[in-house]
């Protein structure tokens, strides 16, 4: 009787470990799905590859999945629309051009040309 119980317990523990590892390796994929990550399929495929590489890739998958959020992208922005940044850069270019013109007008020496005639 105890032999059957031990065998059943052994099979149960084996199945729990087997499926537990699979569920554990799907965590980065689930994070990617939740965050609407653009590389969901690649993360999922790499999770399966990680099972065969002794889990060496799994920490990198976690980082890869966590690095993206739908509201801020890859996290390199400040949350403002890119058009605001473009407008700000255009304004800086206009200010710099005006400053260059003022400095050239104040300069007593005419701008010299390069030896190549440029």
The position carrying tokens 């537990």 is 20
Please say whether the beta carbons of 64 and 28 come within 8 A. Answer: yes
Q: Which residues contact 38 (CB under 8 A, 6 or more apart)?
A: 68
Domain boundaries, the chain: 2-76, 77-107
pLDDT in tens, 43-70: 999 999 998 898 899 999 999 999 998 8
pLDDT in tens, 70-101: 877 887 766 677 888 899 999 999 999 999 99
- What one-character-per-residue DSSP string does 8-68 give? HHHHHHHHHHHHHHHHHHTHHHHHHHHTT-TTHHHHHHHHHHHHHTTTSSHHHHHHHHHT-
pLDDT at 117 over 80: no
56 alpha-carbon distance from chain centroid = 19
Q: Which percentage of the chain shows pLDDT scores above 70?
A: 89
C-alpha–C-alpha distance, residues 70 and 9, integer Å: 44
């Amino acid at each position: 009787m105890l032999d059957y119980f031990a065998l059943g317990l052994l099979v149960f523990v084996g199945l729990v470990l087997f499926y537990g590892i699979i569920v554990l390796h799907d965590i980065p994929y689930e994070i990617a799905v939740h965050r609407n990550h653009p590389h969901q399929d690649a993360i999922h495929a790499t999770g399966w590859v990680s099972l065969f590489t002794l889990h060496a890739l799994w920490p990198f998958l976690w980082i890869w999945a966590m690095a993206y959020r739908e509201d801020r992208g890859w996290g390199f922005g400040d949350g403002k629309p890119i058009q605001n940044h473009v407008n700000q850069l255009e304004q800086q270019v206009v200010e710099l051009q005006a400053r260059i013109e003022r400095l050239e007008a104040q300069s007593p020496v005419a701008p010299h040309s390069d030896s190549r005639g440029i």
